[in-house]
Chain A
Amino acid sequence: MSLKHKDLTGIASLNADEIMQILETADSFKEVTGREIKKVPALRGKTVVNLFFEPSTRTRTSFELAAKRLSADVINFSPSNSSVVKGETLLDTARNIEAMQADIIVLRHSSAGAAETLARGVKSSVINAGDGWHEHPTQALLDLFTLREKKLELKGLKVAIVGDVAHSRVARSNVYALTKLGANVRVVGPPTMMPACVERLGVKVYYDLDHGLRDVDVIMMLRLQLERQGRALFSTIREYSRLYGLTPERLKLAKPGALVMHPGPINRGVEIAPEIADGFSSVILDQVTNGVAVRMAVLYLLSGAGN
């Protein structure tokens, strides 16, 4: 069986088997990233373009490293030093990049649906590295990979996703991915940060963190987007932190040995206490390590189908 997609625009368009195939392929690449020579020739001669319209260090570096470890050529393209400031549209920019024989375009954009639009407009494979509040599929895949690596059975796993669910593409992709693989997902956050009708995605909603954490195997904390503070979603950072911050006392409400995840960058002392972020239940840095292997798997699987 092979991944029969040209693009990866979201988890919503994948089925459980396809998700598992990506995770199993990433297993093999994890071995490669542990070698002394962390490079294989699988994508030799292919060109990967990182097209990032939003600032990102982790994701862009992770994709760049993944592509380089597969021996692809990588170009980083960011709007500050490009013709985008001169008024060129996204599609025109991408077509120009494609005209230079790019095989895979990795796109981050502030508008939901940007990756889908691009995927329809170009022949190159498009990987969504985050589009607005919509999806961030490789983040969800690396989260699942990390859970599996920690020997957790995804079916029946109790996961709490905590924070600004409405504005989080990480939350949306993870809800799709986890529910497709049979996990029990709950979302926890203040009503102002909860999307309307979120129950339709097959999750339970909690507005109280202490209730939401009870008995869970995994806690996924979302980053509080401090840049949204002016939008009256919460009154003060201190209040948010008191109500929705993960503290050692609250962690005790979860199952013993529960794992704590965070997509980064973390706001220490806001959504997560420093002693938890650095503690033994945290797998935050494993997530970063696994991101490279998972992105290698996605690049590898998509590089075949586009021909």
Chain B
Amino acid sequence: MMTGEKKEKLVMDGSEVARAVTRIAHEILERNKGTHNLALVGIRTGGVYLAHRLVKRMFEIEQVQVPSGDLDITLYRDDLSMRKDQPILRKTTIPFDISDLKIVLVDDVFFTGRTIRAAMDGLMDLGRPAEIQLAVLVDRGHRQLPIRANYIGKNVPTSRDEIMQVFLEEEGEDDRVVILKDAKEAQEPAGGAP
């Protein structure tokens, strides 16, 4: 960050992010009574890193490696026909059959719910999961669809036009969640969709 640095408001620091991931890992295991038939799917890009962290945490707790995959929702976005330029397409890599599994979708910021709608449609095209659950690092409100999360790192009240950004070590940043005050200087949020 250059000039935007002094304008970012810290919402979660590195240790808070780590604790939230640990708690969510425990909650997933508790709710699903272990790791049987469980798989994680991270939504590109931030959700993929968080899913990998959850898998690692769950391994430390249960000594079981939960399968995980990466989902790119670009082709399922509801604003494709309205955009002037098509967003960059990334790869979906889910190296197992999701049918009859309990899938936990993982994303960084939970906002309008449109990304999650797209992700659920994308998953359904890959198979018929027994159940889909949702884990997010931060929930900033302003839902536009009737979707809720099962696991939430932190609830953060925001105004509609603020920009929330999650920085993660995997992208060469210190772990933190911030609100950027000046929308003009902000980059596009990691989740991509509004």
Contact = CB atoms under 8 A, between A and B. Distances in A.
A198 interface: no
A196 B104 CA distance: 62
Interface stretch (A7-15, A25-33, A140-148, A280-288): A25-33
Nearest to A1: B88
Given A35-B125, A304-B80, A304-B86, A42 B93 contact: no
B84 interface: yes
A84 interface: no
A14 B87 CA distance: 19
B84 A305 contact: yes
Main secondary structure of the interface of B (DSSP, over half): loop
B85 A304 contact: yes
Contacts, number: 64
Contact of B89 (A28, A35, A305): A28
A3 B90 CA distance: 15
A307 interface: yes
Interface string B86-122: 1111111100000000000000000000000000010
**Size bin of chain A's contact surface:** 20 to 34
Contact of A31 (B76, B82, B87, B93): B93
Interface in A282-307: 297, 300-301, 303-305, 307
B160 interface: no
**What 8 A-B pairs come out closest when comparing CB atoms?**
A304-B86, A2-B85, A40-B75, A42-B75, A28-B89, A28-B91, A25-B89, A37-B125
Given A32-B75, A32-B92, A41-B76, 13 more contacts: A1-B88, A2-B85, A2-B87, A3-B86, A25-B89, A28-B90, A36-B127, A42-B74, A44-B81, A297-B89, A300-B89, A303-B80, A304-B86
Interface of B: 72, 74-76, 80-93, 121, 125-127
Interface of A: 1-4, 21, 24-25, 27-29, 31-32, 35-37, 39-46, 297, 300-301, 303-305, 307
28 contacts: A1-B88, A2-B88, A3-B85, A25-B89, A28-B72, A28-B89, A28-B90, A28-B92, A29-B89, A31-B92, A31-B93, A32-B75, A36-B127, A41-B75, A42-B75, A42-B76, A44-B81, A297-B89, A300-B89, A303-B80, A303-B86, A304-B84, A304-B85, A304-B86, A305-B84, A305-B85, A307-B81, A307-B84
